[in-house]
Amino acid sequence: MATTVLHACDLIDGQGTDQQSGIDVVVEGDRVVEIVPSRPAQTYEAVDEIVDASGMLVLPGLINNHTHGTAYGPLFPSGHERLSHEQVRANLDRHLLEGTTTVLCVDGFVTAEELASTDEAHPVNVRLASCNTPACLEAATIADGGGLTEANRRFGAGQAVAAGAVALGEIGAGHTLGGGGASYMYIPAEVRRRTGVTITPRQANGLKVAVLGRHISASAFDRDAVEEALAAAGLIGRLSVEDVREIVSGIVLPAFDVALRGLAEAAEHARANGVPVLVHNAAASMTQVTAIAKTDVRLIAGHSNHSSFALREAVEHAERLKEAGAIVDVSTLDTFGAQRLTPSPDLLYAMFAAQVVDTISTDYAGGHHDPILLAIDRCVRAGVVGLPAAVAMATANVADAIPGVAPRRGRVVPGAIADLIVTDPAELTRVGLVMIGGRVVVRDGRRVTG
């Protein structure tokens, strides 16, 4: 049984407690066995490896409760055409190098066999959520369904939980509820098909909001706003106002009410199966999400900093959800990097400043998500959250919110499974070493293969 010592590090243990300095973390096999004030290196002459972590920060491996494209199978809760195996592994590599050791794939229609095949192919712990309830399957079929096989359709939520799924989710999603998925995927694709013009996700979102509003309603149609959005997208003379109304309404509305119905239905299935339910929390679904929060199901309100919310609306909605006992999740989205849909970090900062955040995830952001550690670093520097509390939101809080996702992980304490990362406190995203189950899988910032 191999023994590894992370020597002379600083430690944040994931429990929200203060940072410790000058610490040795002793790992034996797949477990943390000791956390002690640093001893002279020669004390450990019999161990297999001493990692000099002086000046570095050790954290629990991150647990990401909202990812897409991290398991072989249909993509998104719309059952979209599946990614290649190579792309799925590349997505998992990206999460791993960002310090994530466990991901919850919320694509929703992945089978147990597809998950097992993914888990065998990559060191990251991949866990599954299901969205396969009747209404959610109907909404996926209406909106897309291009990646659903008969096996995916048959693998219902109850069967998935019996086979090891740890939650129901993502229930809703932007691809069936007129969110980001419509703006970065379906609307641009249809505009390109009709005109040959490639528009940006933000331009597509402008068209969508002009036609249906932030809360998605046919009555919100604003002809003048559509004209402005057409001009902003460079589509004047290529599409008329009525063309845009037809495109946006035809993409968003057919599945919308069915998907809304699926929120309450999935909550009932989650309650019956004894697992949490992770829902798409956005301006369009906030009324239904609030109603679910008042029931006795364990509710995780995903990406509660969704760009469809107005700032005050998001904070006040999150406060109501927390009062009802829900878990409020925020996602990094593309807030600091690509900003294809998220225009600024203001809403994220406001959520932390209001102390309504329980967990941090990435979501997908059309493949452009920011690392969790980047969001933590920026939010700490902005003074809206402390580092130990933020780390807990990406580790122990997630393990507690979804009991099956990462048992005995998410904390650096004796007896815990040794999922650990070593990073640079001056630049948290500079992850140098990652251990999963006591095995080094990233060294010097590169994945260890073989």
The answer for residues whose C-beta is within 8 angstroms of residue 142's C-beta and 6 or more apart is 176, 254, 255, 258
pLDDT of residue 210: 98
Percentage with pLDDT > 90 across the chain = 99
Task: Let me know: does 77 contact 131? Beta carbons within 8 Å.
Answer: yes
DSSP-assigned letters across all residues of 366-428? GGTPPPHHHHHHHHHHTTSS-HHHHHHHTTHHHHHHSTTTSTT-SS-STTSB--EEEEETTEE
The answer on pLDDT for 388 being more than 90 is yes
Strand partners, 108: 130
What's the pLDDT band for 1 if we cut at 50, 70, 90?
confident
Given its phi and psi angles, is residue 174 left (phi above 0), alpha (psi -120 to 50 degrees) or beta?
Answer: alpha
Spatial separation of the C-alpha atoms in residues 101 and 432, rounded to whole Å: 14
pLDDT per position as a tens digit, 134-166 = 999 999 999 999 999 999 999 999 999 999 999
Spatial separation of the C-alpha atoms in residues 147 and 126, rounded to whole Å: 20
Q: What are residue 22's phi and psi, to 5 degrees?
A: 65, 55
pLDDT of residue 246: 98
Sole residue written with tokens 């002086």? 54
pLDDT of residue 449: 87
Sole residue written with tokens 């249909």? 74
What's the pLDDT band for 367 if we cut at 50, 70, 90?
very high
Strand partners, 64: 103
DSSP-assigned letters across all residues of 405-422? TSTT-SS-STTSB--EEE
Spatial separation of the C-alpha atoms in residues 56 and 431, rounded to whole Å: 10
pLDDT of residue 326: 98
The answer for residues whose C-beta is within 8 angstroms of residue 306's C-beta and 6 or more apart is 179, 180, 281, 282, 283, 314
Spatial separation of the C-alpha atoms in residues 22 and 289, rounded to whole Å: 45
Q: Model's pTM, two decimal places?
A: 0.98
pLDDT per position as a tens digit, 299-313 = 999 999 999 999 999
List the end-to-end C-alpha distance of the chain, in Å, as a whole number: 19
Section 390-418 average pLDDT: 98
pLDDT of residue 268: 98
Higher-confidence residue: 449 or 274?
274
What's the pLDDT band for 296 if we cut at 50, 70, 90?
very high
The answer on pLDDT for 223 being more than 90 is yes
The answer on pLDDT for 369 being more than 90 is yes
pLDDT of residue 45: 86
Section 233-249 average pLDDT: 98
Section 332-357 average pLDDT: 97
Strand partners, 283: none
